[in-house]
């Protein structure tokens, strides 16, 4: 005798199943030392970004004309830049920007790449050929060149940075999703869904995509690290967020002009970029190693 979804006893069972899935996901993270170290590094920057107004007595744009290009002190924890702005404040407020733009860029690329990859992989034939040839043409350009073309054409802004990373990252995601779809579409449960007369959209997003989510999630997490590095690179080249935004890349670019007077304005944002990218990569690598054990 099967229980109806309206049965009051079904709700607790669903809640327990949900918590079990959460516990299993946490067990994957905690069982990998690499993933745990990465999570600590990423969590450090996430917490600083969330509580930035509480952990910094200064704003990112406040200037102290009596303390320009100074080293770390009790008044300025990490020192100041050439305009007397507190580096600690600018670094942690810059974390807010990069922790929004990088995941947003990857999510946009994931959405576009998943749709294109599923479409080409499931339908095949001339649809697959058209989609893949367009993506191959985009991938023929070096990523940094595509960034430059898009940003120079549209102008530096937060949304244009997101657009540039989306266009550059979507083809790689689409190729991964397509390869998974080509394999999964030959399975028996896909044939059964087609015999039931299910809609192609249902088959792609309900039958194929959930069964391909593992490699896609790990790849997306690696791409967040690449996106952080790309945003820093664009900021360094003057194509990121317009000044005076606390952008880590632009902080390095501006600070290098005064590097022989004070190294701090270059050092701290560089450490921030590298530690966040390393944390994201370690977390993704740890998840990939653990997920391979269960295959």
Give per-residue pLDDT as tens, 72-91: 888 888 989 988 899 999 99
Specify if 79 maps to a domain. Answer: no
Give per-residue pLDDT as tens, 40-67: 999 999 999 999 999 988 888 888 888 8
Beta bridge mates, 226 = none
- pLDDT on residue 289: 72
Domain tally for the chain?
1
Token reading at 136:
């191959």
The domain that holds 243 is classified in CATH as: 1.10.3720.10
- pLDDT on residue 2: 47
Q: Which DSSP symbol is given to 256?
A: G
Token reading at 226:
């690449």
Overall average pLDDT of the 101-127 stretch: 93
Q: Is the pLDDT of residue 250 over 70?
A: yes
Specify if 212 maps to a domain. Answer: yes
Maximum Cα–Cα distance for the chain, whole Å? 79
Neighbour-count burial of 11, counting CB atoms closer than 10 A to its CB (0-12 exposed, 13-18 middle, 19+ buried): exposed
- List for the chain the helix, strand, coil content (%; round to 5): 75, 0, 25
Higher pLDDT, 238 or 104: 104
Q: Is the pLDDT of residue 244 over 90?
A: no
Q: Is the pLDDT of residue 1 over 50?
A: no
Confidence of residue 180 (pLDDT cuts 50, 70, 90): very high
Alpha carbon distance 235, 253 (integer Å): 8
Q: Is the pLDDT of residue 276 over 90?
A: yes
Q: Is the pLDDT of residue 107 over 70?
A: yes
Q: Is the pLDDT of residue 153 over 80?
A: yes
Overall average pLDDT of the 262-287 stretch: 90
Higher pLDDT, 295 or 87: 87
Confidence of residue 292 (pLDDT cuts 50, 70, 90): low
Taking CA atoms, 142 is separated from 92, 145, 146, 149, 212, in Å, by 31, 5, 6, 11, 28
Q: Is the pLDDT of residue 118 over 90?
A: yes
Nearest by Cα to 147 from 165, 123, 129: 165
- pLDDT on residue 6: 52
User: Among residues of the chain, what percentage have pLDDT more than 90?
Assistant: 37
Q: Is the pLDDT of residue 267 over 60?
A: yes
Neighbour-count burial of 211, counting CB atoms closer than 10 A to its CB (0-12 exposed, 13-18 middle, 19+ buried): middle
Alpha carbon distance 7, 239 (integer Å): 57
Specify if 229 maps to a domain. Answer: yes
Higher pLDDT, 285 or 43: 43
- pLDDT on residue 288: 76
Q: Is the pLDDT of residue 126 over 60?
A: yes
Q: For residue 291, give its domain range.
A: 105-295
Alpha carbon distance 124, 230 (integer Å): 33
Least confident segment among 105-109, 114-118, 217-221: 217-221
Specify if 282 maps to a domain. Answer: yes
Specify if 86 maps to a domain. Answer: no
Least confident segment among 15-29, 128-142, 189-203: 15-29
Taking CA atoms, 46 is separated from 27, 49, 140, 272, 289, in Å, by 21, 5, 35, 12, 24
């Amino acid at each position: 005798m099967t229980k109806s979804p309206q049965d009051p006893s079904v709700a607790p069972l669903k809640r327990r199943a949900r918590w079990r899935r959460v516990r299993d996901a946490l067990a994957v993270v905690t069982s990998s030392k690499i993933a745990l170290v990465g999570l600590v590094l990423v969590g450090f920057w996430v917490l600083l970004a969330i509580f930035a107004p509480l952990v910094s007595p200064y704003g990112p744009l406040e200037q102290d004309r009596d303390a320009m290009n100074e080293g770390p002190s009790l008044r300025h924890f990490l020192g100041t830049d050439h305009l007397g702005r507190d580096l600690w404040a600018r670094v942690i407020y810059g974390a807010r920007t990069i922790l929004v733009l990088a995941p947003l860029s990857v999510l946009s690329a994931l959405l576009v790449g998943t749709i294109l990859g599923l479409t080409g992989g499931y339908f095949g034939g001339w649809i697959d050929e058209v989609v893949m040839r367009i993506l191959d043409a985009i991938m023929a350009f070096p990523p940094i060149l595509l960034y430059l073309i898009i940003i120079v054409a549209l102008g530096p802004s937060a949304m244009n940075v997101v657009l540039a990373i989306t266009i550059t990252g979507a083809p790689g995601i689409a190729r991964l999703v397509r390869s998974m779809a080509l394999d999964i579409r030959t399975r028996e449960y896909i044939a059964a869904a087609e015999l039931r007369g299910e809609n192609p959209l249902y088959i792609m997003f309900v039958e194929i995509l959930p069964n391909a989510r593992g490699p896609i999630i790990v790849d997306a997490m690696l791409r967040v690290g690449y996106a952080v590095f790309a945003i820093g690179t664009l900021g360094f080249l003057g194509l990121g967020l317009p000044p005076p935004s606390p952008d880590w890349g632009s902080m390095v670019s501006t600070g290098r002009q005064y590097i022989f007077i004070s190294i701090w304005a270059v050092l701290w944002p560089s450490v921030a970029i590298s530690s966040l990218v390393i944390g994201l990569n370690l977390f993704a690598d740890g998840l990939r190693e653990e997920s391979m054990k269960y295959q």
